[in-house]
Amino acid sequence: MTDKLSKTDAAPRDTSTAMVKAEGVHKSFGSVEVLKGIDLEVKSGEVFCLIGPSGSGKSTFLRCINHLEKINAGRLYVDGELVGYRQKGDKLYELKDSEVALKRRDIGMVFQRFNLFPHMTAAENIIEAPIQVRGTNKAQARERATQLLERVGLADKAGSYPSQLSGGQQQRVAIARALAMDPKLMLFDEPTSALDPELVGDVLDVMRDLAESGMTMIVVTHEMGFAREVGDSLVFMDDGVVVESGHPREVLTNPQHERTQSFLSKVL
């Protein structure tokens, strides 16, 4: 891996301000309430890990942060601005799709299943959004793609198509693609869950590198070792609510809630 920072070289994290703030966030799909009043705060520069069983609402909450899903009640802020809405007086007005897209470009998201364009090479996948959304010069975008591929350990794969890459390599290209937009916030939705075990380490190494460089990250994960070693805060969710939160080592080593204890006894 190239361009990797050691902990002693890492930029100091500024965690004095909130990058993400949720106040009483509710989300339903039809009659099924998936989020039942989420309150949490992610500080700037923080690595914030979300754990919990399948169906607990973790991924839905992540998708609400960049307005891929619309919340039904509450308030959700990114960098001090309401997500998806504008407030005038006591009323909220939903933003136009173009306004949402403009704000969403500052939030990078990495999905379980990579979502790369199959007809584009690794480099082409990375340069597409900066050129189309930010209007970046093509030569500059290609230079940046080369730098990012080197950073994620794939300098020799610029001309490879997704079908020619392993799952772990595709996920690292997906991370590079998200970084190409120079986001202020990175969202990871179980980024290693679809990978063979031997491919997980390389992806986690890239995420560690990002954490050490000061990137604000929210990570939905089943990788408890990563949460323990890299995370600054950890939240355990179940059935659409925050059950327990705290420093990852404290929660994982000495969970206070019976439901957290039960879950961790099965995964640790």
Q: What is the pLDDT of residue 139?
A: 96
Q: What global pTM score does this model have?
A: 0.91
CA pair distance 107, 132, nearest whole angstrom: 16
Mean pLDDT of the chain: 92
Q: Is 74 left (phi over 0), alpha (psi -120 to 50) or beta?
A: left
Query: In the chain, what is the greatest distance between 2 CA atoms, to the nearest angstrom?
Result: 56
CA distances from 247 to 56, 98, 235 (A): 20, 38, 9
Pure H helices in 80-160: 97-104, 122-132, 138-151
Q: What is the pLDDT of residue 12?
A: 44
| pLDDT tens digits in sequence order for the chain, 268 residues long | 433 333 333 444 444 579 999 999 999 999 999 999 999 999 999 999 999 999 999 999 999 999 999 999 999 999 999 998 888 888 888 899 888 888 888 999 999 888 999 999 999 999 999 999 999 999 999 999 999 999 999 999 999 999 999 999 999 999 999 999 999 999 999 999 989 998 999 999 999 999 999 999 999 999 999 999 999 999 999 999 999 999 999 999 999 999 999 999 999 8
The three-state secondary structure class of 102 is helix
Cβ neighbours around 185 below 10 Å, total: 20
Nearest by Cα to 249 from 228, 265, 230, 226: 228
Q: What is the pLDDT of residue 257?
A: 97
Q: What is the pLDDT of residue 101?
A: 85
Question: 193-252 pLDDT, tens per residue?
Answer: 989 998 999 999 999 999 999 999 999 999 999 999 999 999 999 999 999 999 999 999
Q: What is the pLDDT of residue 6?
A: 34
CA distances from 57 to 69, 167, 189, 237, 263 (A): 12, 25, 12, 7, 15
